[in-house]
Amino acid sequence: MTHRIRRFADLRATEVAERISEHSVFVQPLGAIEQHGPHLPLSTDSVVATAVAEAAVDRVGDELDVWLLPTLEYTKSNEHAWSPGTIWLSATTLLAVLDDIGRCLATTPARRLVFLNGHGGNSALANVALRELRLAHGLITFLAHPGVPPDQGGTSPPSELGMGVHGGTDETSLMLHLAPHLVRLDLAERRVPEKINANRYVRFGGRVSFGWLSDDFPDGYIGDPTAATAELGAHLFEGAVAAFCEALAEISQFDHGR
């Protein structure tokens, strides 16, 4: 077995008091088990969040005293509830689970907890959890994404008209880089809701957001996976890891300035 450094769950209980200090930073990857169209596996968001978190912790963990928690793979995926294979927690359940995790971590000397979120459907709730955990357990809490999702103001390649929200070019490219044996590019088609692009306000990442389920769109995915390549995936992965490493440096020093 390869040596896995800085995996919190690999510590023995008696080591926790020795190794975890007030300077330690916990990274909690948030994945998802949800339909990702015919071309990507249910585990896509978990694979990406875990890989970025592992690479970043392996790179800067010693220097910044960062500890990797086991990925939370079941999260809030109810936009895909229509699709057998999706395993989702309700909003109230996930909020309670994040509170439970925070309460347990707060029994250690560490005070910093970062959620690295691979599933855009978790973002709104995770942001709520940041404040709930700060108030309830005194933790300093952060939310990071491997890439900013297009429905939250992030960008996506031109052929997606800014709508590579789910199973599109970037996500498919990342999977071609990280787990090509799980990708069926031959089954992928371009699925971009061009009508929405005519709107000025009501659009993904626009000033007016809208509630959506993935079966509001054909085949349950939104983007252009046909443009995906492993090379782009490698580039996106390295960019995500480098950015998260830099973010961890700021997080490890962050104080509210009071």
Residue 147 CB, nearest distance to Zn ion (Å)? 11
Alpha-carbon distance of 27 to 12, in angstroms, equals 18
Nearest to 48 by CA among 214, 218, 183, 185: 183
Q: Where are the alpha helices (DSSP H) in the chain?
A: 13-19, 44-64, 91-105, 123-137, 169-178, 194-197, 230-253
Cα(234)–Cα(181) distance, integer angstroms: 15
Q: Out of 39, 45, 117, 175, point to the residue binding Zn ion (CB under 5 A).
A: 45
Count of residues near Zn ion by CB under 5 A: 2
Q: Minimum Å distance from CB 234 to Zn ion?
A: 18
Min CB(39)–Zn ion separation in Å: 12
Residue whose CB is less far from Zn ion, 85 or 109: 85
Nearer Cβ to Zn ion (44/156): 44
Task: Give 105: exposed, middle or buried? Use CB within 10 Å, 0-12, 13-18, 19+.
Answer: buried
Q: Which stretch binds Zn ion (CB under 5 A): 37-45, 90-98, 157-165, 244-252?
A: 37-45
Rg of the chain taking only CA atoms, in angstroms: 18
Q: Which is nearer to Zn ion, 40 or 161 (CB)?
A: 40
Find the part of the chain contacting Zn ion (CB under 5 A) among 40-48, 180-188, 200-208, 236-244: 40-48
Quote the least distance from Cβ 238 to Zn ion, whole Å: 19
97 burial via Cβ count (<10 Å: 0-12, 13-18, 19+): middle
- Token pair 């079966």 is at which residue? 215
Contact in structure between 81 and 38 (CB atoms under 8 Å): no
Q: Which of residues 45 and 54 has its CB atom nearest to Zn ion in the complex?
A: 45
The smaller minimum CB distance to Zn ion, of residues 66 and 222, is found at 222
Q: Compute the least distance from the CB of residue 185 to Zn ion, in Å.
A: 16
79 scored as a contact of Zn ion (CB under 5 A): no
Report DSSP state, residue 33: B
Name the residue nearer to Zn ion (CB basis): 24 or 71. Answer: 71
Residue nearest to Zn ion (CB): 45
Of 27 and 174, nearer to Zn ion (C-beta) is 174
Q: What is the DSSP letter of 217?
A: S
Separation of alpha carbons 156 and 166, rounded Å: 11
Shortest separation between residue 171's beta carbon and Zn ion, angstroms: 5
Contact residues: Zn ion, CB under 5 A? 44-45
